[in-house]
């Protein structure tokens, strides 16, 4: 069986955050999720997460049945180190398993690379295979020492390397593939005779070489895959790499992104072909964008479903649904639980919250529609307010098909405006309006002639 052991016990103190490092998000998703999903997509059947102080916080994020959790013991004087963390997985590992060691803070590792590493490991019949990469400036990394037959002789850390060894550009990524039996043997023979008094997994290579077991190195051509996160600066650097990858994927799938450097799309967003995205657009969470839609500029859409041939510009859309051929903006605000039908128009400075709006209805400007149910072909004039809150409860405004709500009207919920009814401009409506009726709720106009002269 192929098994993944993901090291995720680090406190991440350099992140300077209350949030565990591996739960910091990269393009909308916790970085540890990338590692777990990549392992699963690479065909690995069992995944073990090694946790520490962050155990409860991390477990709250996951409900996958295939995950196993082990907590690294925490006590004063504990040896710690990568080897100590992997030791916690021993009870889940069989002799004939193939075990891949991954880091929860190295989120850009690719499925293809993991598959290739595992295939290389099995083909070469190695006891351990190390994923390596070449860096132009390898300072700080352990160097890979190879034999004349290209097998790995060992890993030399920067502080122990000779001047000649420091010129080597091939480095250890910290990602390994072990034969199960060899890993268990190596873990049982790790020692803490080093400056940090810790168990180092890198020592496993030398331990296995001592019993004439073979070590190999598989080199990835993309060094960004093995980049880790220790602080927020590094997180931002990986964010840029991942964002570019996401944008490239969508463009190759038929999406026009006018300025990829200023377009921000989360990993789980789905975009269909022939969509055009203008600059400074943010597509977040589990958003879906239908064909032929135009998004932006300066638009944020989060956890929302956008239909085909929709236009959203200079607007915010949160946790909402927009039907086909609908137009939103500029400067509109769709708050959670809003649902717009087809051919709807929500214009400038209109705010919609927890309201369903039927096909062909429109609120072209300067309105607040909160907690409502609006039928089809309804016209909502400028300055209309759904007065939905009485200080204690939120109440519903219901408007039937083909109704007309005149400008600057206040609808005091709970209230029903029935089908075909009219509300005269400037009215404050407190009672239901019957079908096809006209409601007028304003004082009669009185003009006082010569008023200005008399006042003087």
CA 133, CA 178: separation in Å to the nearest integer? 18
Residue 269 has pLDDT above 70, yes or no: yes
Residues in contact with 10: Cβ distance below 8 Å, sequence separation at least 6, in sequence order:
21, 22, 52, 104, 105
Alpha carbon separation from 210 to 161, 183, 193, 206, 326 (Å, rounded) = 20, 14, 17, 6, 70
Band (456; pLDDT cuts 50, 70, 90) = low
Residue 65 has pLDDT above 80, yes or no: no
CA 439, CA 427: separation in Å to the nearest integer? 8
Band (360; pLDDT cuts 50, 70, 90) = very high
CA 239, CA 289: separation in Å to the nearest integer? 22
Secondary structure (DSSP) of 131-155: EEEE-SS-TTSPEEEE-TTS-EEEE
Instruction: State which H helix or E strand residue 452 sits in.
Output: helix 451-455
Dihedral of CA 124/129/134/139: which sign?
negative
Quote the pLDDT of residue 371: 98
Quote the pLDDT of residue 60: 86
Tokens of 389: 């809150």
Residue 350 has pLDDT above 90, yes or no: yes
CA 164, CA 167: separation in Å to the nearest integer? 6
Quote the pLDDT of residue 407: 97
Quote the pLDDT of residue 268: 96
Residue listed under structure tokens 């307010």: 385
Which of helix, strand or coil describes residue 298? Answer: coil
Quote the pLDDT of residue 296: 96
Do 1 and 45 meet the contact criterion of CB atoms below 8 Å apart? Answer: yes
Q: CA nearest 69: which of 102, 96, 46?
A: 46
Quote the pLDDT of residue 182: 95
More confident residue, 93 or 445: 93
Residue 415 has pLDDT above 80, yes or no: yes
Band (67; pLDDT cuts 50, 70, 90) = confident
Q: Taking the CB of residue 113, how many other CB atoms lie within 10 A of it? A: 22
Residue 319 has pLDDT above 70, yes or no: yes
CA 191, CA 173: separation in Å to the nearest integer? 22
CA 36, CA 58: separation in Å to the nearest integer? 13
Q: Which of 121, 250, 325, 365 is catalytic?
A: 365
Residue 74 has pLDDT above 80, yes or no: no
CA 267, CA 33: separation in Å to the nearest integer? 11
Residue 64 has pLDDT above 70, yes or no: no
Cis peptide before 297 (omega within 30 of 0): yes
Residue 411 has pLDDT above 70, yes or no: yes
Mean pLDDT of 249-262: 98
Residue 78 has pLDDT above 80, yes or no: no
> pTM of the predicted model, to two decimals?
0.91
Dihedral of CA 346/360/275/338: which sign?
positive
Band (249; pLDDT cuts 50, 70, 90) = very high
Residue 262 has pLDDT above 80, yes or no: yes
Q: CA nearest 159: which of 197, 195, 200, 204?
A: 195
Q: In this predicted structure, which of 74-83, 88-97, 126-135, 362-371 has the lowest mean pLDDT?
A: 74-83
Tokens of 452: 């200005």
Tell me the HSE value of 147 on the side-chain side, using a 13 A CA sphere.
Answer: 9
Mean pLDDT of 108-125: 96
Band (77; pLDDT cuts 50, 70, 90) = low
What rounded mean pLDDT belongs to the chain? 93
Band (157; pLDDT cuts 50, 70, 90) = confident
Domains of the chain plus CATH, in order, are 2-226 (3.90.550.10), 232-439 (2.160.10.10)
Mean pLDDT of 247-275: 98
Do 363 and 347 meet the contact criterion of CB atoms below 8 Å apart? Answer: yes
325 catalytic? Reply is: no
More confident residue, 454 or 319: 319
């Amino acid at each position: 069986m192929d098994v993944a052991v993901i090291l995720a016990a680090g406190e991440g103190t350099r992140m300077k955050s209350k949030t565990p490092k591996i739960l910091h998000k990269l393009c909308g998703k916790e970085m540890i999720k990338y590692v777990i999903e990549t392992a699963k997509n690479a065909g690995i059947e069992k995944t073990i997460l090694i946790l520490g102080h962050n155990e409860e916080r991390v477990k709250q994020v996951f409900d996958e049945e295939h995950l196993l959790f082990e907590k690294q013991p925490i006590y004063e004087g504990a040896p710690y180190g990568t080897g100590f963390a992997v030791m916690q997985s021993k009870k889940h590992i069989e002799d004939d398993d193939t075990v891949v060691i991954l880091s929860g803070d190295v989120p850009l590792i690719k499925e293809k690379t993991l598959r290739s590493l595992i295939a290389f490991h099995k083909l070469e019949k190695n006891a351990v295979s190390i994923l390596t990469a070449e860096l132009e400036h390898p300072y700080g990394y352990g160097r890979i020492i190879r034999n004349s037959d290209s097998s790995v002789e060992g890993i030399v850390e920067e502080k122990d390397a000779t001047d000649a060894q420091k010129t080597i550009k091939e480095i250890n990524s910290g990602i390994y593939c072990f034969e199960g039996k060899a890993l268990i043997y190596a873990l049982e023979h790790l020692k803490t005779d080093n400056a940090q008094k810790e168990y180092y997994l890198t020592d496993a290579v030398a331990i296995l070489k001592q019993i004439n077991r073979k070590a190999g190195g598989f080199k990835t051509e993309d060094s960004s895959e093995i980049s880790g996160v220790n602080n927020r600066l590094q997180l931002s650097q990986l964010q840029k790499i991942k964002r570019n990858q996401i944008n490239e994927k969508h463009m190759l799938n038929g999406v026009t992104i006018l300025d990829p450097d200023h377009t921000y799309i989360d990993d789980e967003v789905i975009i269909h072909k022939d969509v055009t995205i203008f600059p400074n657009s943010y597509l977040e969470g589990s958003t879906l964008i239908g064909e032929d839609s135009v998004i932006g500029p300066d638009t944020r859409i989060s956890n929302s479903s956008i239909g085909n041939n929709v236009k959203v510009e200079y607007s915010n859309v949160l946790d909402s649904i927009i039907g086909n051929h609908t137009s939103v903006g500029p400067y509109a605000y769709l708050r959670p639980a809003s649902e717009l039908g087809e051919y709807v128009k929500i214009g400038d400075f209109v705010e919609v919250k927890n309201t369903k709006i039927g096909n062909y209805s429109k609120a072209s400007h300067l309105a607040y529609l909160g907690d409502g149910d609006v039928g089809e072909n309804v016209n909502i004039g400028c300055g209309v307010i759904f007065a939905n809150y009485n200080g204690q409860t939120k109440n519903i405004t219901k408007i039937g098909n083909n109704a007309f709500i005149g400008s600057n009207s206040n609808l005091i919920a709970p209230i029903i405006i029935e089908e075909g009814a009219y509300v005269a401009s400037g009215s404050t409506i407190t009672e239901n309006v019957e079908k096809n009726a006209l409601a007028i709720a304003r004082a009669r106009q009185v003009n006082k002639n010569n008023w200005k002269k008399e006042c003087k």
